[in-house]
Structures are given as structure tokens and as C-alpha cells.
Amino acid sequence: MSEIERTEIEIPEISRVEGHSAVTVDVENGKVVDVKLEVFEGTRFFERIVLGHKYDEMPHITSRICAICSTGHVLAAIKAVENIFQFSPSETEKLFRELMHLGMIIESHATHICALALPDFVGAADLSDLAGKHENEFAIWTRLRDLGASIQTVVGGRPFHPVNLHAGGLSRYPSRKELRPLLVKLERGTEDAAHLITLLKSFNLPTETELAPCFLALIPEGDSYGYFGKTIKASDGWQAPVEEYTTYLSESSVEYSHSKRSLLGTKPFMVGSMARLFFFSEKLGKTAKDIFDKSPLAQKNKRVSSLWNNFAQAIEIVEAIERATVIIEILLTSTIAGSENTDFKNKLKAGRGVGAVECPRGTLYHSYTLDESGNITAADMITPSAQNSAHIELDIRKAAELELKKAPDHLRSTLETLVRAYDPCNTCATHMVSVRQLK
């Protein structure tokens, strides 16, 4: 019997915002036999550590799950708590929350595209290299990042782990004087985002892949493209209220990873910018819609590689800048009014509440159960990265099968770029892939 020729393609560490991860691809006789996305970040047991805490502590504690998406965690936690008390925020609060969320989208997407993905596409080793060789692009990143951080600081009190957002409303309403300078930054941001789009367009991204992703995203509540909603939608037309997520997402632990993974029934699926644009491009503002319509993302029958996620995020930056400008203009001309009866202490009751928001990387769920004193008795959080992980493995497998015959260097960089495209929370990666012959 001839000896089996085995190769293991390994990416020993891809640093991620939520910790550390590695990728291995096992190849036997020229066929991919196994793919593993291994997340070996230190576990923090958030679902357990919040137990016994009071409902009003949830935003602050769960915000610490992730710095880049902390605003998303805070908002999901707030929504879950407010759902238990059947509280509806005032219009002003809704606008401020949306503005805050857009600040996170701009900051996170810009950091992902510029600091993480761009070096791959322009042939720079990393961010410092980019800073030296591509000053203009580096400056775009610093300005867009600063724009997102400024919005979150004005509304939330600091660039991440916000202190001003609570279940029941904001502690303090930003003044017109604080809001106005953001308009100037947003205007500059419009130019920067346009430059980013042109740049990304000039890269030769593959438009054909054999994968037809199953997409999942929240249906936006309002008329505009948005990140908040109560119903989830899948690409086969199926819909469900987010409260029922345990019936449609099957979550499980895998031995080799600290990250749980979710399947939709038995299927891996994809959440994030591409999913949102796939469903709701009709709701985009004019500028973003034009860009979308002229891109391969608009041709729904034609399959687009996950690498297009970078471009999809850039479109969302354009949209977020346009929408944030509209929101600030509304706030500047309206009476700012908070909600009444925001104190839940006198109407405590036992119950379960689910809150979901679209984070930069996809849908995030928080679910809490309270006893009648307002203590958490059960909690569950499902992050976008856990949802995407099975799909990333599927994508790696496909890409590795297609490219197996190519030179190891080429394969290595294809896989790295692919994983990174999914990883908007990751401001950079240790670009180390080793291809080892096992025997």
C-alpha cells in the first residue's frame, strides 16, 4: 500500500479581539480532510459571572466581553432588560442610541479595513509598514477611527465601554454645542470613505465562489438601513422573532475551541455586513446604494467571495456617515426629551428578555432571566463570531480545495486574507502561517 501523503496547513495564531485563534487544515493525498478554527482565548464565563447581579449592572459587566463591540453589547443588554420591563425609550433616546451604534460601526469597520485588511491588499507587512508606505491611507484610518470614537465619546462618555447608556435611557443628553463639531468631522469622513471605496474597488477581488452562503440578519425596525430589530431573517425567506433564537440556533461546544458554534438547523451560516446588504440594500441612502448597485454584491445570483466583506463594510461606513449626519441634524432642531418612569425599581418583576442588535460582525443576542428582586438568574449571549465560525471553516475548506495545487505561499496568503475578511474586530493579525509536511 502506498504511503498516505499528509500535509497540515497551520496558522498558529491569528490574534482576534476576542482573544487568540488558530487555523489548521489537514490534507491527505491531495484532499482536504479536516478544517479547524481553534479559538484558544481565555474563557471568561460571562454567562455565569453575571448571575446574582442586578439587572442594571448588565450593560457595564457585559460590555467587557469585547472592547471594539462594547457599544453593541451595552445596547443588546439594555434592550434585553427593557424588554423584561416592557419599556419603550423616547424618540430622542432612540436617536442617540442609533447614533452611538453608528459611531461603533464607523470605528470598527474603519479599523478592520484599514489596519487589518489593507496591508494585505497593498502589499504592506502590517500597520506600521502601511503608515510608512501609504501615509494617505493611514491618515484616512486615523480620521475615520477618530470620527467613530468622537461620536461614541459625545454620546456615551468615552470611546468604548460607554458610561452614559443605561436601561431606561441616557444619564445625560449631549448638548447642541457638543453635537455640532461632529458634523464637521462627518463631512470630512464622507471624503475619506469615498477614497476607501475607490481603493477597495481597484483590488482584484474574486467574484466567483462555489459557496452560496446562508445569510442571517435582523430586519431593521425603521425605514432606513439599520442595526436594531426584533425579527431575524434568513436567505431562504424564513423569519422568526429573536426571542425564539434557541429554537432556530443550535449552539454547541467543540473540543478544540473555546468558542461555541451555532448552526441554523444543520447549516453553517454567515452574519455581518454582507448578510445585511444582501437583504436590505433597498433601505440604503442614495450614495451607499449607488455604490452597492454598481458592485458585484448587487448581483444576487452571482456568488461573491467572502473577501467582499471588506467592501461591504466600506459601504456601511458610507451609509453610517450619511445616517449619522441626518440624526444629528434632527437632534439639533428638535426638543430633546428623555423618557418618563425610567426607574424600574418600583416595577420589578420576574421574567425573561432577549435583546438583539446587529454588531459590526453580525447579530448579537443577549438574554436574561430575572427573579422578582431584579437579580439575574440565567443569562445567555451569542456573539457573531460564534455564529460565523462554522461558516469560516466551510469557507477555508473550499478555498483550500481550490488552491491546493498552488504554491504554499500563495495558499497561505489566500487563507489568511480569507479569515481576516471575516474578522472585523481584529485590528491586526500575526501573519504567521506555516505549511508543514507531517510525513
Partner 1 sequence: MSNNPAKPIPKVAVESLTGCAGELLVILDNLEKLVPFIRIMSFPFAQSKNEDGPLDIAFVEGSVSQPHDLEKLKRIRAKTRWLVAIGNCAVWGCVQAGSCSRCHADDMMHSVYGDTCKFEVMQAKPLEEFVKVDVRLSGCPINATQFLSVTASLLKDHLPFITHKPVCLECKLRETACVLIEKNLPCLGPVTAAGCGALCPRVGAACYGCWGPCQEPQMEAMATILQEKGYELDDVLSRLQTFGAPKELFTRMASEKN
Site of interaction with ligand SF4 (CB under 6 A):
64, 67, 163
Radius of gyration of the chain (CA): 22
Q: How many CA atoms lie within 13 A of 97 on its CB side?
A: 28
Query: In what side-by-side order are the strands of the sheet with 351-359?
Result: 351-359, 362-370, 376-382
Query: Which residues are registered as beta bridge partners of 21?
Result: 14, 39
Residues making contact with partner 1 (CB under 8 A):
13, 15, 17-19, 40-50, 52-54, 57, 60-61, 64-68, 70, 115, 119, 125-128, 131, 142, 145, 149, 157-161, 163-164, 166, 170-172, 253, 255, 258, 260, 427-432
Nearest distance from C-beta of residue 18 to partner 1, angstroms: 8
**Residue number, 97 or 161, with CB nearest to ligand SF4:** 161
Nearest distance from C-beta of residue 313 to ligand SF4, angstroms: 23
**Residue number, 40 or 203, with CB nearest to partner 1:** 40
**Residue number, 160 or 227, with CB nearest to ligand SF4:** 160
| Residue whose C-beta lies closest to ligand SF4 | 64
Write down the residue that cell numbers 425599581 correspond to. Answer: 345
Nearest distance from C-beta of residue 267 to partner 1, angstroms: 22
Closest CA to 83 of 170, 167, 169: 167
Nearest distance from C-beta of residue 66 to ligand SF4, angstroms: 8
Q: Could you say which of ligand SF4, partner 1, none residue 415 binds, taking C-beta under 5 to 8 angstroms by partner kind? A: none
Q: Could you say which of partner 1, ligand SF4, none residue 243 binds, taking C-beta under 5 to 8 angstroms by partner kind? A: none
**Residue number, 125 or 407, with CB nearest to partner 1:** 125
**Residue number, 40 or 203, with CB nearest to ligand SF4:** 40
Nearest distance from C-beta of residue 160 to ligand SF4, angstroms: 8
Q: Is 221 left (phi over 0), alpha (psi -120 to 50) or beta?
A: alpha
**Cα distance between residue 201 and residue 291, in whole Å:** 10
**Residue number, 186 or 425, with CB nearest to ligand SF4:** 425
Q: Could you say which of ligand SF4, partner 1, none residue 164 binds, taking C-beta under 5 to 8 angstroms by partner kind? A: partner 1
434 close to 4: Cβ distance less than 8 angstroms: no
Write down the residue that cell numbers 482573544 correspond to. Answer: 19
Nearest distance from C-beta of residue 18 to ligand SF4, angstroms: 11
